[in-house]
Amino acid sequence: MQVITIGIDLAKHVFQVHGVDANDKVVFNKPLRRSQVLPFFAKLAPCLIGMEACASAHYWARELKKLGHDVRLMPAKDVKAYVKRNKNDSVDAAACSEAVRRPTVRTVPVKTPEQQAELMQHRVRDLLVRQRTQAINALRSHLAELGIVAAQGYDGLKVLLVVIADCSDVRLPENARASLSALIAQIASCQAEIGAIEKRLLAQHRKNADSKRLETIPGIGVLGASAIVATVPDASIFKTGRDFAAWIGIVSREDSTGGKQRLGPISKQGDRYLRRILIVGAFAVIKQARAHPEKYPWLTQLLARKPAKVAAVALANKTARIAWAVLTKKEIYRVTSHHRDTCVVGRLKK
């Protein structure tokens, strides 16, 4: 019996594969060690393979495509609907095999190694920023135990660094000074690595036309533009700008029934990194709107009715939809003369 559809439950070492024929009859459902996966699929005729878009999924999709198979990655939450009771690896593989044959189940484009490498820079930078923040907070806490405090921000941190470097300061015991010097070295190391990554991101941004188009949108800088391009290489997979904003998780969560529409807070489903970048950029635009309200009439009216955080989320939602339009139409953002908050797109001037 020829296998036409296979579902794979990915893992670190032991993979579960579930294959069915044209009559939906199970041909095999067995585990495979990591070293057995590619030799096993090399012996099979080309077939449809479904797996969840999780860790290492893009690598396995590329390798299986080289063997002639049609590989489709699916969001894990879409596959969950086909999982039967008593969840285990065998049931998960069967769910992938069932879901991949459904025309309504969405698929995730397979990323190339270069696309994954660009996105990896953002992930590593985000990790280093968190580590730097943790080290700074630990430094402030330890010094506060000895009654040494300083103002918030970088200026306050410089005051604390001077205290630690001053060996004549008797408020700081020698053992404490030695321990805190290790934290200072960690902060400096993280800062140097973050700076190196940001230089590479800036160089890539200047070479990418889509990234430069996104930078023309208020609230999106070099970091946000490069992150969107690295995460979504092809924005045309989304039918509308709202679909793109919903994928980021920045639209209202709907809980409607009986013909009554109920909209709650944002769903927070999707890429939290892009969502955070868009909201942080929205706060920067709000700061400009408060200084120059005549340039942002829509945002100014919204701030008069809603708290700043609610307005920031609403503006981030709007920014995501504009970003989709810019990417799909291959044009830049510009503001019309009759209304500063109304955007149109035009060709990028050379």
CATH of the domain at 56: 3.30.420.40
Last residue of a domain, one of 192, 207, 222: 207
Instruction: Give yes or no: residues 33 and 130 share one domain.
Output: no
> 218 and 330 in one domain?
yes
Query: Is residue 242 assigned to a domain?
Result: yes
Q: Rounded CA gap, 282 and 99, in Å?
A: 38
Q: Is 105 a member of any domain?
A: no
Does residue 106 form part of some domain? no
- Angstrom distance (rounded) from CA 63 to CA 131: 34
Angle, alpha carbons 256-100-5 (nearest 5°)? 160
Distance from C-alpha of 60 to C-alpha of 52, rounded to nearest angstrom: 11
Candidates 185, 183, 18, 213; CA nearest to 96 is: 18
Note down pLDDT in tens along the chain; length 350 residues: 689 999 999 999 999 999 999 988 999 999 999 999 999 999 999 999 999 998 899 999 999 999 999 999 999 988 998 998 888 999 999 999 999 999 989 898 999 999 899 999 999 999 999 999 999 999 999 999 999 999 999 999 999 999 999 999 889 999 999 999 999 999 999 999 999 999 999 999 999 999 999 999 999 999 999 999 999 988 998 999 999 999 999 988 888 888 888 888 888 888 899 999 999 999 999 999 999 999 999 999 999 999 999 999 999 999 999 999 999 999 999 876 544 454 544 444 43
CA angle 296, 293, 217 (to 5 degrees): 30
Overall pTM > 0.75: yes
Which domain range does residue 265 map to? 209-346
Query: Quick one: 94 and 201 in the same domain?
Result: no
Whether 104 is covered by a domain: the verdict is: no
Residue type, 165: A
| Rounded (10°) angle between helices 297-305 and 272-291 | 100
Whether 60 and 175 share a structural domain: no
**66 is a domain residue:** yes
Number of domains in the chain: 3
What pLDDT score does 350 carry?
33
Rg (CA), the chain: 26
291 and 238 both lie in a single domain: yes
Whether residue 255 is found in the same domain as residue 285: yes
Do residues 260 and 244 share a domain? yes
* Same domain, residue pair 231 and 192: no
Q: Say yes or no: 182 and 261 in one domain.
A: no
Considering 179, 207, 235, which residue would you say is the last residue of a domain? 207
Residue 108 maps to a domain? no
Classify residue 326: in a domain, yes or no. Answer: yes
Q: What is the DSSP letter of 317?
A: H
Q: How far is 80 from 61, CA to CA, in rounded Å?
A: 20
pLDDT of residue 338: 46
222 and 335 belong to one structural domain: yes
The three-class DSSP label of residue 297 is helix
Residues 154 and 202 in one domain: yes
Is residue 80 in a domain?
yes
CB 233 within 8 A of CB 299: no
The rounded distance, in Å, linking the Cα atoms of 331 and 326 is: 5
Q: Which pLDDT value is given to residue 262?
A: 86
Do 154 and 221 sit in the same domain of this protein? no
Domain boundary among 155, 172, 207: 207
